[in-house]
Amino acid sequence: MVITTPFIAELKKTFPGANVDVLCSPANQSVLRNNPNVTNTPIWAPSFSGLRLLWQLRNHYELVIDLNHSVIWRDMLMIRLLNPVWAASTYKAGRYEVPGSELSIYRLRPRSECTWTEAIAGKYLNLIETLGGSPNQKFRYEIYPEDDLSEQVSADTALLSLKTDFWVVNQYGGRDSMRLTDEDFRAVTALIRRQDPQAFVLWASSPSTYQALVRKREDWFSGDDHVVVYRPTQQAIDICNYLRKAKGLISPDTSLIHLACAFEKPMVAVFANERDLYKQWKPPSTNWQAHLFSKDSKSLSGYSRSELLQAAQALLDLGSNTLTAQRVDPV
């Protein structure tokens, strides 16, 4: 949903008088909260109620846009249920031995793959050109967190909303194999506390990792009130209240690095060694970033601890204005 926001902005710019609804999952809906380019965010889930929602919206839309760059039968079924006047799609190379160009359901689609970027967000913008627009190739994510924190945010992390002097550190990616080791996660936190002793360190968490992080904090930093565990809420956008005020981020490749990019935060990000996927999903930013890679294409196994700590030190050095905006991509 985050990487879709540049497309949504360009779509609204191309058709300023149009209402733009975005079909969302319950987890993603809050990412579009306060987005001025979005009219409604219907929540859809693969269930009977989800099918009923699509039927209720049948014949409601003039244009339905499928942003999936693969041939997905479920997407086409959803379009049939919505029954718009027009259906559009990003470029689809094909799947199930069916060329994307032969899918007659999509009356509007790019004739070829995007040539000016390999990023997924750019593939979406390629469709804007097909729709008659001229998208900005220097795209950025657009997130609009509220000034007031969600009532669900606990008192301990709410204290950080009054601070500007803190770093966000994240151990976990989207799956267990995409995580920093306990030793390195602890070492990075200790490095920040030594080098920037007045700053807080906020450990990012999810509902599935929160309790484990609380235990680690008690084991490793029990006497240090400057190490705080973020208490996750049901609204993904809530952590953006902290990301936009943080000094920087250290994290494995996960949605958090894209959320931080919306606020042009400097960061250290660790990726699995799959360079084609990296080209598609690396976060766009004009601020300083250090991108590190593991030795494995499916996990973070084998990333360099010394490179991680060196990059973290470089991130901390930003506070002394010794670095200018650039991207550092160790091999």
Give every residue of the chain whose pLDDT is below 50, as ranges. 151-152, 322-331
What Å distances lie between residue 219 and 112, 164, 181, 182, 227, CA to CA? Answer: 55, 27, 15, 12, 12
Q: What is residue 163's predicted lDDT score, i.e. its pLDDT?
A: 58
Please state which CATH class domain 155-328 belongs to: alpha beta
Residue 330 is predicted with a pLDDT of 45
pLDDT (0 to 100) of residue 147: 65
2-130 under CATH 3.40.50.2000, yes or no:
yes
pLDDT digits (tens, 9 = 90+) for 288-311: 999 999 999 999 999 999 999 999
Confirm if 55 and 47 have CB atoms less than 8 A apart.
no
Indicate the SS3 state at residue 94. Answer: coil
pLDDT score, position 323 = 43
Per-residue pLDDT of 144-171, as tens digits, reads 987 655 544 555 565 566 556 899 999 9
Instruction: Give domain limits for the chain.
Output: 2-130, 155-328
The DSSP letter of residue 37 is T
Q: What is the DSSP string of 196-241?
A: STTSEEEEP--TTTHHHHHHHHHHHSTT-TTEEE----S-GGGGHH
pLDDT at 159: 59
Q: Is 55 exposed, middle or buried (0-12, 13-18, 19+ CB in 10 A)?
A: exposed
pLDDT of res. 322: 42
pLDDT tens profile 57-75:
999 999 999 999 888 889 9
- Domains 2-130 and 155-328 in one fold: yes
Phi first, then psi: what are they for 169, rounded to 5°? -125, 135
**Residue owning tokens 């006047």:** 85
Residue 238 near residue 259, CB atoms below 8 Å: no
